[in-house]
Amino acid sequence: MISAVVLAAGEASRMGCLKQLLPWGDKTVLGTVISNLTESTLDGELRVVLGYQADRIRRELADELTEEVRLLKNRDYQRGMFSSVLAGLENLPAETSGLLFMLADQPLVTTDIYNRLLKKFRQEQPLLLVPSYRKQRGHPLLIQSSLIPEIFALNRGQSEPEGGLRTLLEKYSQEIEYLEIGRKAVLIDLDCQEDYQKYAPRKTDNDKET
């Protein structure tokens, strides 16, 4: 069983607003990420780790969530993204064999991309699987559950160890499997307003209000 952890706890200081709730088509940015995963072949838990303005996000996303989605609150989110990784790993079902880590600000990663990654992960069972575009590493990251103890060990009393999950990628660099996606979507996240304005879906003339 493969579960997913969506990291959505940040303050989005570079964006200047709560980017998780920015409009994205008929949903929000975070709602789109969740929806794309929900519609995929993911067969485990879908965990979304909130932090900054968690209650507001929970409230405003209520209509976009299904029963499969489990919202978690990271009260230590200000300590960095790795604290959200740890929060997302707490009390995973025993039958979890793999984990997919995804960022909350990558709504361009479609259900089809998730399905291609999940299929390869199930068929070949690599230790780590990463999508790429023209040999550039993207998201999401999929790992075997056997690596979970190492993730907790990275903590060593700190909430944000230097490198975070990249430490695993460096340690097991020779064992990473890459899936060339052929689409830049796996590289694009929405860090600032310029990114949002560039990539946000545009209403067609038929969609515009008269």
- Within a domain: residue 28? yes
Whether 209 is covered by a domain: the verdict is no
Please give the pLDDT value at position 196: 94
Residue 170 domain-assigned (yes or no): yes
Question: At residue 208, does pLDDT exceed 50?
Answer: no
Nearest to 40 by CA among 123, 117, 125: 117
Q: Tens digit of pLDDT for each residue in 132-168?
A: 999 999 999 999 999 999 998 887 655 455 567 888 8
Cβ(88)–Cβ(7) under 8 Å?
yes
**pLDDT greater at residue 56 or residue 156:** 56
pLDDT at 206 over 60: no
Is residue 101 in some structural domain? Answer: yes
CATH of the domain at 182: 3.90.550.10
Candidates 105, 94, 85, 96; CA nearest to 151 is 85
The reply to whether 207 falls in a domain is no
| Beta-bridge partners for 178 | 130
Q: Is 188's pLDDT higher than 50?
A: yes
| Interaxial angle between packed helices 29-38 and 111-124, expressed in degrees from 0 to 180 and rounded to the nearest 10 | 40
pLDDT for res 209: 38
Residue 206 maps to a domain: no
Pairs from 12-16 (Cβ < 8 Å, separation ≥ 24): 12/52, 12/105, 14/191, 14/192, 15/190, 15/191, 15/192, 15/193, 15/196, 16/192, 16/193
Residue 208 lies in a domain: no
The span from the CA of 142 to the CA of 159, in Å, is 22
Residue 33: which domain range? Answer: 2-199
CA atoms within 13 A on the CB side of 46: 20
DSSP letter (8 states) at residue 139 = S
Residue 135 covered by a domain? yes
Q: How far is CA 70 from CA 4, 54, 57, 97, in A?
A: 10, 13, 13, 18
Tens digit of pLDDT for each residue in 15-45?
A: 878 999 999 999 999 999 999 999 999 999 9
Total count of residues recorded for the chain: 210
For the chain, the farthest-separated pair of C-alpha atoms sits apart, in whole angstroms, at 58
Total domains in the chain come to 1
Listed in order, strand segments (DSSP E) in the chain are 2-8, 23-24, 27-28, 46-50, 69-73, 98-103, 128-133, 136-137, 141-144, 176-180
